A and B are shown apart, each in its own frame.
Chain A
Amino acid sequence: MGSLLILIGFPFMVFTQNVNLRFQNKVGDMPLIIDSVNYKNELNQDFTISKFKFYISNVRFENTNGTTTAPSTSFLIDQEDSLSLSTNLISIPSGFYSSVEFILGVDSIHNVSGAQTGALDVVNAMFWTWNSGYIFMKLEGNSSFSNSPGHFFEYHIGGFKEPYNAIRKIKLTFDQPVEISKHKLIDILINVNVLEILQHPNSIDFSKNSSIVEPFQSKIVSDNYEDIFSIINIK
């Protein structure tokens, strides 16, 4: 409720958290709808999606003279939790900024820090219990091409230790510098293209890879997910 108020905003209000990241998950050009729409991967294999969650962490903004802001904490973006798609607030010092950076995943320090709350609470079921570390992204669904029971596929991608490091740095450059101040809430709408998780450079074949659930298997997917993000608009 508190965050909703901030979103609606009032004139002359001072925003301690003055930037909001919103996410719009899509599969190619189609909106992502859980368990209902049939999509196709680049191998022309059909699939539906039953779960899509991922972490972004350490969001920083680079200003026009090249210095970056202090990184914020982690956000868990979950297709089935609309608030997580619409409201991810951070506070950024006033200035002109040219890009936003973050990591897809959770940084190594927070992978070894024990019990945590909020986005990193283990109740979010994004943590490997026997091989400590956060699952950075969960994509689950069905494809008639999958050979798993029930034609299920599941990709639990993560791992923070070399050589199985699935953390990816993302940098999204703005078309033109964006002014951030304390008096206006800047809303950045980011497109997430799930199709890119399944392709480029590695074409994911549901008949061969229906279960990728451990850090040492992650690379085939984590090398794909670097380019799933793009900015739709900034308001």
Chain B
Amino acid sequence: MNKRILIVFLIIASSLGMLSLDQFEDIFKITKKDVKLIYPTYFPKPSYSFSSNKLSPDKFVLGRKLFYDEILSKDNTVSCATCHERIAAFAHIDHKLSHGIYAKIGTRNVPPIQNLIWRTSFMWEGGVNHIEIQPLSPIENPIEMDEKMSNVLLKLKNDPVYVSLFKKAYKDSEITSERVFKSLTQFMGLMISSNSRYDKFIQQKDTLSKMEMNGLTLFRAKCASCHTEPLFTNNGFANNGLKVDPSLNDEGRYKITKNEKDKYAFTIPSLRNIEMTYPYMHDGRFKKIMDVLNFYSEGQNHNATVDQRVTSIGKLSSQEKKELNAFLLTLTDKTFLYDRRFVDPDYVFSR
């Protein structure tokens, strides 16, 4: 049986009471092998290498627990996983704008969490400069988790389960923000998507259909200068010609640099697992991949800062759109989406 199907089966079986607790926990056990940094040879060198945050099963498990725990929010109702759902490559399925604490609606679409260690900045405007301090932003954001880091530490220190998990991971039970962040980084940093059909094609383990191949050729000609292979982002920022939504008037990168050239520029997102991360764009305005292709083909808005590489895409025929669409679907990585390492057994049980 295929490993992925096996895991799905086991989850179903266990929820039906066909598996005992022990057997279930064994499946989710994290071993040394599970926390090895592995990526394909055609990937570049990561910008975050874990060199000052040595990977270990115990730290990873601690990070996993933190990621799924509502304790990080002020009223203990919101966890990272509330907005970042595993099955959507840790984006938020079908939510245009994020939904946070006290049912507050944010101003941005939740991006997926994948291949973060190759990124040089985070968030839609690239304001966060390091993976380790990324979690501070949602924790302290009044409309996301609305908590103070100092209070998170107090809560963790008062929880015997965490005291022992920190002790296991760090040899003493001191609970510091650095340890919280580094553990979360181990968990998030290992969320690596590198096993899509596209990857298997590159590794010559699979072939693409004619339609998908044509899509790849088109993609390389029209899209890859920004959505650069193999990560499908060049880590840059661009104004890709979206019409400005006056109700949000989100100036994007400009908020960080205050440079006129950056007005309405946003992080160039990776397109890996694009099938699962709908809706699309920083404000989630498009529901379907086809909507995005229609936009690039005939919906661009050419204001002062729009990127030349977008304006030069030109009109796409309906055949070309179908081909691009078919290619983009090859970026779905089921190995990643169903990876048991990213399932929190406690979380599965409590639902």
Q: Are B140 and A116 in contact (CB under 8 A)?
A: no
Q: A116-B178, A122-B177 are known contacts. Are A127 and B132 too (CB-CB below 8 A)?
A: no
Report chain B residues within 8 Å CB of A133.
Answer: 129
- Whether A123 touches B153, Cβ cut-off 8 Å, given contacts A129-B140, A130-B128, A131-B256, is yes
- Distance, CA A164 to CA B255, complexed state (A): 13
CB atoms of A130 and B127 under 8 A apart: yes
**Complex interface: chain A residues within 8 A of B181 (CB):** 114-115
| CB contact between A115 and one of B127, B133, B137, B148 (< 8 Å): that residue | B133
The answer to whether A115 and B141 touch across the interface, beta carbons within 8 angstroms, is no
Known: A123-B153, A164-B258. A132 touches B178 (CB 8 A): no
Q: Which residues of A contact B (CB under 8 A)?
A: 111-117, 121-123, 125, 127, 129-133, 164, 216
Question: What's the Cα separation between A115 and B181 when bound, in Å?
Answer: 6
Complex partner residue of B178 from A112, A117, A131, A164, CB under 8 angstroms: A117
Contact sample, A vs B, 22 pairs, CB 8 Å cutoff: A113-B130, A115-B130, A115-B132, A115-B133, A115-B177, A115-B178, A115-B185, A116-B178, A117-B177, A117-B178, A122-B133, A123-B149, A123-B153, A125-B150, A127-B136, A129-B128, A129-B140, A129-B141, A131-B127, A132-B127, A132-B128, A216-B258
Q: Are B177 and A129 in contact (CB under 8 A)?
A: no
A-B contact count (CB 8 A): 60
B131 touches A114 (CB 8 A): yes
Q: Does B176 lie at the interface of the complex (its beta carbon under 8 Å from any beta carbon of A)? A: yes
How many B residues, CB 8 Å from partner? 25
**Shortest Cβ distance from A121 into chain B, in angstroms?**
6
Residues on B with beta carbons closer than 8 Å to the beta carbon of A122 = 133, 136, 149, 177
- CA A111 to CA B129, docked complex, whole Å: 9
Contacting residues of chain B (157-192) with chain A, CB-CB under 8 angstroms: 176-178, 181-182, 185
- Determine chain B's interface SS by DSSP, over half rule: helix
Q: Which 7 A-B pairs have the closest CB atoms?
A: A114-B132, A115-B181, A114-B130, A132-B129, A115-B132, A115-B178, A131-B127
Residues on B facing A (Cβ under 8 Å): 123, 127-133, 136-137, 140-141, 148-150, 153, 176-178, 181-182, 185, 255-256, 258
Q: How far is the CA of A111 from the CA of B148 in the complex (A)?
A: 20
Q: Which residues of A contact B148 (CB under 8 A)?
A: 125
Which chain A positions have C-beta within 8 A of B130? Answer: 112-115, 132
Q: A116 to B176, alpha carbons, bound, how many Å?
A: 10
Q: Which residue of A lies closest to B123 (CB)?
A: A130
Nearest B residue (CB) for A114: B132
Contact A123 to B129, CB < 8 A, known contacts A115-B182, A131-B256, A216-B258: no
- Closest residue of A by beta carbon distance from B180: A115
Q: Does A121 contact B127, Cβ atoms closer than 8 Å?
A: no
- A112 and B129: CB pair below 8 A? yes
Given contacts A112-B130, A123-B150, A216-B258, contact A130 B178 (CB under 8 A): no
B153: chain A residues at CB < 8 Å are 123
Chain A nearest Cβ from B134, distance in angstroms: 9
A164 to B178, CA, bound (A): 27
What's the minimum C-beta distance from B50 to chain A, rounded to whole angstroms?
Answer: 11
Q: Which residues of B contact A216 (CB under 8 A)?
A: 258
Most B CB within 10 A of own CB, among A115, A131, A133: A115
Whose C-beta in chain B lies nearest to the C-beta of A117? Answer: B178
Q: How far is the CA of A113 from the CA of B128 in the complex (A)?
A: 11
Q: Which of B130, B176, B178 has the most CB of A within 10 A?
A: B178
Alpha-carbon distance A123/B129, docked complex (angstroms)? 18
In the bound complex, do residue A121 and residue B141 qualify as a contact, i.e. CB atoms below 8 Å apart? Answer: no
CB closest chain-A residue, reference B258: A216
Query: Which residues on A sit within 8 Å (CB–CB) of B185?
Result: 114-115
A164 contacts across to B, CB distance below 8 A: 258
Contact at A114–B150, with CB atoms within 8 Å?
A: no
7 other A-B residue contacts (CB within 8 Å) besides A115-B133, A122-B136: A114-B130, A116-B178, A121-B177, A122-B133, A127-B136, A132-B127, A132-B133
